[in-house]
Chains A and B, each alone.
Chain A
Amino acid sequence: GQQVMQIPQYQHVQEGEDFTTYCNSSTTLSNIQWYKQRPGGHPVFLIQLVKSGEVKKQKRLTFQFGEAKKNSSLHITATQTTDVGTYFCAGPIQGAQKLVFGQGTRLTINP
Chain B
Amino acid sequence: NAGVTQTPKFQVLKTGQSMTLQCAQDMNHEYMSWYRQDPGMGLRLIHYSVGAGITDQGEVPNGYNVSRSTTEDFPLRLLSAAPSQTSVYFCASRQSGGGETQYFGPGTRLLVL
Which A residues form the contact surface with B (CB < 8 A)? 2, 6, 9, 30-31, 33, 35, 41-45, 48, 50, 88, 90, 92, 95-104
Contact = CB atoms under 8 A, between A and B. Distances in A.
Nearest to B106: A42
A101 B90 contact: no
Contacts, number: 63
10 contacts: A30-B98, A33-B102, A41-B106, A44-B104, A45-B101, A48-B99, A97-B50, A98-B58, A99-B102, A101-B44
A101 B43 contact: yes
Given A50-B99, A97-B56, A101-B42, A42 B48 contact: no
A82 B62 CA distance: 37
Contacts of A99: 33, 45, 94, 98, 102
Interface in B10-46: 33, 35, 40-45
